[in-house]
Amino acid sequence: MLNRDLTDYNQLNRTPFHMPGHKRQNLTGVDLPYEKDYTEVEGLDDLHHPEGILKAAMERTAAMYGVDRTWYLVGGSTVGNLAGLYALAPYGSEVICTRVMHRSILHGLMLAGYRVHYVMPDYVEELGCYGGVRAETVKEILKRYPQSKAVILTSPTYEGILSEVDKIVEIAHAAGIPVLVDEAHGSHLDVHFQNGERSDFPKGAVSAGADVVIQSTHKTLLGLTQSAWMHLQGNLVEAERIDEALDIFETSSPSYILMNSLDACTDYIQKEGKTLFHQWKKHLQSVEECGKAFHNLELKVYNAQRDGYQKDPSKILIYEKHGRLSGYDIATRLREIYAIETEMATENYCLAMTGPGDTQSSYVLLLNALKEMDATLDQMKEKTIDLCQTVPQLSGGEAVRYSLAEASHMPKENVMLKDCKGRICGEEVFCYPPGIPLVLPGEEISEDMAAYLCDLEAQGKLRHGKKHPDNSITVIKETDSDAKDLDGILRG
């Protein structure tokens, strides 16, 4: 195990005339693991050219998922998405990509110069959020754009909703093209324990046969924040291309503390995962059972197959049934009254994100808080919001006026948000979390979206790809000369 290898190295008592500058001494007095902060010296391997202890650690993780190869990532799923997209297809290729994506996918698409055909996932009215991508939708788009070289998905979503990855993989592979899945929220889905038994959470992208799968271990497993890994299987994507991409996008000074946490996560999950995951699922079942007795709050935990979507139960969605509290209100009450900090809130729901590190006392605290909140809502009569009516439709392609590559080179200007209706967006605009772009560069801003962006700005929830000192947004300039300049730029 990597931790043992690093401990053994420390016992050699070698004097470090090399990086890092603290020389494994805690001179600051801050409680940080300086003694385990190494660099690539003889015996400690090199993440960008692994031949020793890091190679062995990544092979252990690959075996846990049953994939051909695994790379440890010290820049989160973000660096995995960038590198995976770079390696996926030739520069400038046509690709099919879900419109509901993390902004790191958007950045990867831009850097790869891809011409993107967006696929819209279903909007799940019951949940008030976007769900998974259907295989039939991908099949139709692939027929329309047969030159597409790859399919790019996000599954599960931030809310835990899965796409039909297995069917989509069949369709893509029949056309001879790979599938990349940003599975940042699904590192717990396809693990195998020491006895070979698989986790009984829903099947993820690895089991579905996706070619490249990126997962954040710090989100749903036991890795430290910023730790992640990327898996490869099959022969449609070259491992050497991923190596090359990681050389470009990932730091050349990877943190051994983060890499140690990844190997430790693998070791612990294999040995103790069966018991740990059983307890996790048991707690989630208790949450759902308790929620059935609520009069005012509604908890969405397990899958609702009758509604045509599959959901990872580790994400607890909390609603107020009668429109008297928004998700923001629920999150605020949990924080300020009960000292419970949730993962995310929208107008429609509050998201409580669970993980293998949650204790029984944590679940008891959450359920007692929700019980008390549910009881107090009996006295509240006035309806304040319309659930599932607040987020305007994201563009599925019909509002795209310029490609990402074109938009990135076009002359731009800033206009006030109140005046942005009908303009072509020149930047990414999003809320964080979840970091899903509401408007992409090159998209026309609809009237509904313009109003929504103004509302978000007033609430302090709007984020931009660029800094804005006022309530403005970057848009494409509207002049004939600019269009001629763009034509010259693209022609080179």
Backbone angles phi, psi at 363, to 5 degrees: -65, -40
Pair 333, 368 in one domain: yes
Show which of 209, 240, 270 is a domain's final residue: 270
Is 392 within the bounds of a domain? Answer: no
Pair 409, 475 in one domain: yes
* Tokens, residue 235: 């022969």
Q: CA–CA distance from 340 to each of 209, 296, 314, 434, 437 (Å)?
A: 38, 19, 17, 19, 28
Pair 41, 168 in one domain: yes
Residue whose token pair is 């990126």: 214
- Assign 3-state DSSP to the chain and report helix, strand, coil percentages, each to 5: 40, 15, 45
Is 251 within the bounds of a domain? Answer: yes
Pair 56, 130 in one domain: yes
**What pLDDT digit, counting tens, does each position of 199-258 carry?**
889 999 999 999 999 999 999 999 999 999 999 999 999 999 999 999 999 999 999 999
| CATH code for position 290 | 3.90.1150.150
The mean per-residue pLDDT over the stretch 338-356 comes to: 95
Is 168 within the bounds of a domain? Answer: yes
The mean per-residue pLDDT over the stretch 351-360 comes to: 96
pTM recorded for the entire structure: 0.92
The mean per-residue pLDDT over the stretch 463-487 comes to: 75
Is 390 within the bounds of a domain? Answer: no
Pairwise CA distance, residues 193 & 272, whole Å: 8
Instruction: Name which of 288, 303, 298 is nearest 124 in CA terms.
Output: 303
Range of the domain at 426: 404-491
**What pLDDT digit, counting tens, does each position of 382-419 carry?**
666 555 445 677 876 678 899 898 898 899 999 999 99
Pair 181, 243 in one domain: yes
Pair 39, 132 in one domain: yes
Is 384 within the bounds of a domain? Answer: no
Pair 48, 148 in one domain: yes
State the total domains in the chain.
3
pLDDT of residue 390: 56
Pair 341, 476 in one domain: no
| CATH code for position 448 | 3.90.100.10
Is 398 within the bounds of a domain? Answer: no
What is the residue type of 15? T
Give me the chain's average pLDDT, please.
Answer: 91
| CATH code for position 255 | 3.40.640.10
The mean per-residue pLDDT over the stretch 61-75 comes to: 97
Pair 263, 308 in one domain: no
Torsion angle (degrees, nearest 10) of CA 80, 92, 399, 463: 30
Pairwise CA distance, residues 211 & 242, whole Å: 12
Pairwise CA distance, residues 460 & 415, whole Å: 18
Pair 330, 232 in one domain: no
Pair 246, 113 in one domain: yes
Pair 297, 226 in one domain: no
Is 341 within the bounds of a domain? Answer: yes
CB 475 within 8 A of CB 415: yes
Instruction: Name which of 277, 275, 279, 271 is nearest 194 in CA terms.
Output: 271
pLDDT of residue 89: 98
Tally of CB atoms within 10 A around 144 = 10
Is 140 within the bounds of a domain? Answer: yes
CB 208 within 8 A of CB 190: no
